[in-house]
Every structure is written in structure tokens, then in C-alpha cells.
Amino acid sequence: MNTQHLKGKTILITGASSGIGKATAIACAKAGMRVVLSARGLDALEQTAAQINMAKDAFGDTSGGGDAIIIPCDVCDDDSVQTLFEQTLDAVGKIDVLYANAGYGLFASIEDTADKQIRDIFETNFYGTVRCVNQALPIMRKQGGGHIIICSSACSEISLPMYGYYAATKAAQDSMAGAMRAELAGTEIHVSTVHPIGTYTDFFNQVSNKAGKDVGLNTPDSLMQTPEHVAKCILKNIARSKPKPEVWPHWFTRLGVSLCTAFPGLGAKVTRKMHQRKSG
């Protein structure tokens, strides 16, 4: 993978304090990109920045790239998101890539999910993405190009028992990205979605905290990957002259999801059995 042309380019990452966001930030910095780290927690962002700076010392001169800039932001707040983009432009003058990654999971049946829980997860996962995209698009139009990446999920295409509303937010992100892709055809603004399977991150710990109980991984071991693997797939797509519209870090899942989409009855049976195996 040739990433030489990425040196000095800027990527803004929300949800950069942990998991896939953090791994992507480190991978992009190693490729020489300026990385704007954003999340709500300042301490965790500082730890990510420290890792990037240590890595920068190890890989040497990056021609102005490889720098980490911390700008805390709550994607649920309009003013906070606007400030994030304004401060990014003040600091580096451009945004070549936006990775809208901030989000969380929710483990609950459709019947038992409270209205507030539904609204809260859409506020972060979907409307948080909307806020960032609405800020990024005018900037990228003025620049004459850019790359918007949205962290969706494999379950954007096929929902999972007990993750119905989480999957709904991911499907909404995917539909939004597809519409943007068509609307921006003929411009130099590219739109990609990322569709990870289960990853070994704090995701499931956060899900357990939201659920008030330990829900475990709730994903077969064969469908788990490291955040570093997902980050490598994202970086590879950023490095392409024409980025792919979708990044699937686990190609077999893409095939399985396609079959389940074509045969929804089969899809429901498969996901139900998967859930029963993990919960039983």
C-alpha cells in the first residue's frame, strides 16, 4: 500500500479516543497525515495523541505530517460540532478527510427499549454524523474535493436480535451516505461507509454499561476482528485515487449479508440461531 501521497493531508476523526477511531488515527499519523482527534473525553484523547507523538519520533520526518491535534467535541451538540470544524480550519487550514466515527451500541429488545434510549442513540450515531457532514461539505466544496467516511456496521444491512435500534442507526447512516454519493457524483468529494463486524474494543463494555448487565461479546469469535485490522482497511481506502464506496473488513460477512438480504426469512433464522447460541 503506497501512502506517500498522504503526507501532510489532514483527517478529522470523531470518536478518536478509543477503538476503531483511535486505531485509525494512529495508522493515518504513521502514514504522515495530520490527525485531528475529537471525542468528549479529554484524558483519553491525550493518551491517543501521546501514542501518535511517540510513533512520530520512531518513523522520523513526515514533511509536516504525523501531527496530532486535540479538539474535544460532543457530536450531540450543534455548537460543539461547529466549533470543532472552525478550530480545525484555524489550526491546519483544510480538511481532506472526515471520519465520522463517534457512536455507541445498545443491547435491548425492540419491545423493552425506552423511548429516551431510542432518541439518545439516534442523537449520537445518526444526528452526530449529520452534524459533522453538514459542516464538512461546504468546506470540501470550497477546497474542490475531499473524502467523507462514515462508520456504519455490518448490521446496517441485516439487523441482529437485541441490537435492533443500534442497527437502525447504522442503516440510516448507510442510506444517507448512499444518497450523498449520488448527489455528489461528478465532484471530487468521495463518500465511503465502513462496515465492521465485531471488534475487540470497549464497544461491548459500553453496551453492558448501557444495559446495566454484562451482555458479553454477543458475537461469534469467527466474526471478531481487531480495530487495527479495520483501521488498515480504512487507510487503504483513503490512499486510493478513487476510494471505494464501501469498506468491508470481513469479505465473507459481505457475502453472507447479501444472501440474507436476498432471502430475509433465512436471514432472520440465521441471526436468531446466532443469538440463541450466544445467550444459551
DSSP class of residue 241 equals S
- The answer to the question of residue 44 being in a domain is yes
The region that residue 63 occupies, defined by phi over 0 for left and psi between -120 and 50 for alpha, beta otherwise, is left
Instruction: Give pLDDT, residue 63.
Output: 47
CA distances from 221 to 105, 166, 216, 277 (A): 18, 20, 12, 12
Q: How far apart are CA 53 and CA 120, in angstroms?
A: 34
- The answer to the question of residue 195 being in a domain is yes
Residues annotated as part of the active site: 166
- The answer to the question of residue 237 being in a domain is yes
Instruction: Give pLDDT, residue 62.
Output: 46
Residues of 142-176 as b/e, b for ≥16 C-beta within 10 angstroms? Answer: eeeebbbbbbbbbbbbbbbbbbbbbbbbbbbbbeb
Residues 6+ apart with CB under 8 A from 130: 176
Q: Is the pTM of this model over 0.85?
A: yes
Number of domains in the chain: 1
- The answer to the question of residue 280 being in a domain is no
- The answer to the question of residue 25 being in a domain is yes
Distance of CA 229 to the CA centre of its chain: 13
- The answer to the question of residue 62 being in a domain is yes
Half-sphere exposure of residue 176: CA atoms within 13 angstroms, side-chain side: 23
Instruction: Give pLDDT, residue 125.
Output: 98
- The answer to the question of residue 264 being in a domain is no
Structural domain boundaries enclosing 90 = 4-251
pLDDT tens over the chain, length 280 residues: 889 899 999 999 999 999 999 999 999 999 999 999 999 999 999 999 998 987 666 555 544 457 899 999 999 999 999 999 999 999 999 999 999 999 999 989 999 999 999 999 999 999 999 999 999 999 999 999 999 999 999 989 887 888 999 999 999 999 999 999 999 999 999 999 999 987 765 655 555 455 555 455 456 666 788 999 999 999 999 999 999 999 999 887 877 777 777 777 766 776 666 655 555 4
- The answer to the question of residue 261 being in a domain is no
Domain containing residue 247: CATH number: 3.40.50.720
Instruction: Give pLDDT, residue 135.
Output: 98
Helix (H) or strand (E) holding 254: helix 251-262
CB 259 within 8 Å of CB 48 = no
